[in-house]
Every structure is written in structure tokens, then in C-alpha cells.
Amino acid sequence: MNGSDWALQAQDLSFAYPGTAPVFEQVSLGIRQREIVCLLGGSGCGKSSLLRVLAGLQAPSTGSIDFLGAPMREPDPRSALVFQQASLLPWLNVTGNTGFGLDFKHQPKLTREAHQARVAQAIEAVGLKGREKLYPSALSGGMAQRVALARALAREPELLFADEPFSALDAITRSEMQSLLVEVVHRWHTAVLLVTHDIDEAILVADRILLMGGKPGNIVRQWQVDIAQPRIGHSDDVIALKMDILDALQALQQQDHAPAGAAL
Ligand SMILES: Nc1ncnc2c1ncn2[C@@H]1O[C@H](COP(=O)(O)OP(=O)(O)OP(=O)(O)O)[C@@H](O)[C@H]1O
Ligand SMILES: [Mg+2]
């Protein structure tokens, strides 16, 4: 533990792709240890670009990022990533895919036993115990995404970066995965930055919601979500928060001269 309670702190981040206008400018944000932060915003507003910069996959044009109290310039092995596609290796079974990358050079050295224990725990946590020998071709989309989550958890990350990890799943599986994510990251004491364009998803899982918008993009509003988990049973509070977020989005769209009521 590093003394501060921040998993990540970013200061005045700006970013542009070569030869284009800045995607975002002067973005500052923090993610506390064990906190689930959802980054919400319309399509193309720069959420994925910001996540990649925060995760160290892309260098910012200006600004600084501290990860667990030290400057971060490349992806830190104490963080992990999950994307929309599970990206499993077809020639490895569930165990192989979950453990994949744990032995890479930049990862902390693990004994064979510790490796096996971590993989087994992660597989159990995502509900795939008994399915260890299955190959990706035999997995449903939801199961594949469980393996992707297990692979991230096996690294015992302090911070999990997730970019729309459930958006390709059907509604029922998505809702199961949202509950699973909240449960396992609480159990693992992992902080999360979850990018989504789904307001309901953000309200169901987040401790804090950041709304990104504008051109160039920035964090234009944030909400602390103090509704007890699981939130399905607190519909009045959930609906009130959703209306507030929808109002903020509509104001953003009017600002950007986008057609009113356009979908996210
Ligand atoms: N590799 C790239 N090169 C140039 N421009 C890019 C690149 N990737 C994204 N962009 C542009 O940067 C802007 C932000 O894109 P980004 O993917 O970060 O948005 P997003 O909020 O994640 O969108 P979505 O919700 O559709 O995933 C867009 O205008 C996009 O066209
Ligand atoms: Mg995106």
C-alpha cells in the first residue's frame, strides 16, 4: 500500500491523434483504491482514448499520471485490462487462457503453485469451476467474457481498466456480468475504471460516475452513487439518478448542437 488512497491520479491530460484536433484537453481525475468509477459519454467523445492513455497504452500529449503514487509511463503490471471482445487464444483452454500472460517478463515472478492457485481462484470467482478444460470454440459469449475477467483477476490487479466489456452480450448475460463484476472486485479489493455508454450499467455498478463530453472532451459532471448494492431493489433512487444523468446529457447535446434525444 502506498500511503495515499489513490489508485490513480491524472493531472491536466491532453491527447490528440497525429494530424487531428485534440480528442480531450486538460482532463484531471482520480480513482481511489477499491473504487468503481464509470466513465460515461456519447459515442466518439473520447472515452476509449482516455482509457488507453490512463492505462499507459498511449502517451498523453501533455499532463501526468500517477499510478499508486508513482509516475506511470507504460502499462503497470499491477493493472489489468478487459475489452469488449474477450480475445481468447483458440488453442488454449479456460485454464490456459486465464493464466496467459501471468508469466510474461514484466509480471512479478510466481512459483508454479502460486500460478496454479491464482488461476484456479480466478476461475472459481467468475463461476467457471468445472469448465477448466473447455476451449474457446465451446464457450458462449458470456462465458468467454468471464474468462477474460478471470485472466484480469489472476493478475490480482490494483486497478482494472474495462472498455465496454459487456456491450456485446445479451441483456440477461450482461446483467449477470455486471453483478459478478461488482462482487468480485469488492472481494479482490480492486479499483475499476469502466467505460460504458450504458447509463443503466453505470448506475448499477458505479461508486462514482464521470460524464465525458464536449469538444475537445473533458469530464463535465460527476455523481457520487451512494445507493446500496444490489441496486435493483432501490428503484426510486435509481430512476432519480437516471433522470438527472439524462438531463445532463441533453444539456450536453444541446451544447454540441446534436439532434435532441439522439441515442448515446
Ligand atoms: N486511431 C485513431 N486515429 C485517429 N483518430 C482516432 C483513432 N481512434 C479514435 N479516433 C477518434 O478519436 C475520437 C474519440 O474516439 P474514441 O474511440 O476515444 O471515442 P469513444 O468515446 O470511445 O467512442 P465509442 O463510444 O464509439 O467507443 C473520435 O473522433 C475518433 O474518430
Ligand atoms: Mg470506445
Best substitution site from 15, 38, 45, 83 to test ligand 1's pocket, by max atoms within 8 Å of Cβ?
A: 45
Amino acid at 141: G
Question: In this structure, what C-alpha cell is assigned to residue 19?
Answer: 494530424
- Percent residues over pLDDT 90 in the chain: 73
Please choose, from the candidates 140, 209, 211, the residue with its C-alpha nearest in 3D space to the C-alpha of residue 177.
140
pLDDT over 90 (residue 106)? no
**pLDDT band at residue 103 using 50, 70 and 90 as cut-offs:** confident
Other CB atoms within 10 Å distance of the CB of residue 247: 11
What is the per-residue pLDDT for 110? 84
Phi-psi region of 207 (alpha: psi -120 to 50; beta: other; left: phi over 0): alpha
Q: Which ligand is nearest to the CA of 52?
A: 1
Q: Which ligand is nearest to the CA of 264?
A: 1
Other CB atoms within 10 Å distance of the CB of residue 180: 18
Q: Where are the alpha helices (DSSP H) in 126-222?
A: 141-154, 171-188, 199-205
pLDDT over 60 (residue 250)? yes
Clarify whether residues 101 and 46 are in a common domain: no
Q: Which sign, positive or negative, has the C-alpha torsion 223, 227, 230, 232?
A: negative
What is the per-residue pLDDT for 263? 47
**pLDDT band at residue 78 using 50, 70 and 90 as cut-offs:** very high
Give the number of the atom of ligand 1 that is nearest the alpha carbon of residue 45: 21
Give the number of the atom of ligand 1 that is nearest the alpha carbon of residue 51: 18
pLDDT over 70 (residue 71)? yes
Clarify whether residues 7 and 105 are in a common domain: no
Taking residues 12-19, report their average pLDDT.
Answer: 96
pLDDT over 60 (residue 262)? no
In a domain, 83, yes or no: no
Amino acid at 246: L
What is the per-residue pLDDT for 206? 96
Question: In this structure, what C-alpha cell is assigned to residue 259?
Answer: 439532434
Give the C-alpha separation, 62 to 160, whole Å. Answer: 23
Give the C-alpha separation, 238 to 60, whole Å. Answer: 35
- Percent residues over pLDDT 70 in the chain: 95
In a domain, 179, yes or no: yes
Q: Which domain holds residue 27?
A: 1-78+159-264
**pLDDT band at residue 105 using 50, 70 and 90 as cut-offs:** confident
pLDDT over 80 (residue 57)? yes
Ligand 1 neighbours by CB, cut-off 6 Å = 17, 20, 23, 41, 43-49, 197
For 181-230, the pLDDT digits (tens) are 999 889 889 999 999 999 999 999 999 999 999 999 999 999 999 998 88
Amino acid at 157: P
3-state SS, residue 99: helix
pLDDT over 50 (residue 2)? no
Clarify whether residues 145 and 172 are in a common domain: no
Give me the number of domains the chain comprises.
2
Instruction: For cell 486538460, name the residue.
Output: 26
Residue 46 alpha carbon to ligand 1 centre in Å:
6
Clarify whether residues 1 and 37 are in a common domain: yes
Clarify whether residues 102 and 61 are in a common domain: no
203, 218 contact by CB (below 8 A): no
Give the number of the atom of ligand 1 that is nearest the alpha carbon of residue 17: 4
Backbone angles phi, psi at 52, to 5 degrees: -65, -35
Clarify whether residues 164 and 259 are in a common domain: yes
Taking residues 8-13, report their average pLDDT.
Answer: 97
Could you say which of 107, 138, 156 is where a domain stops? 156
Clarify whether residues 21 and 115 are in a common domain: no
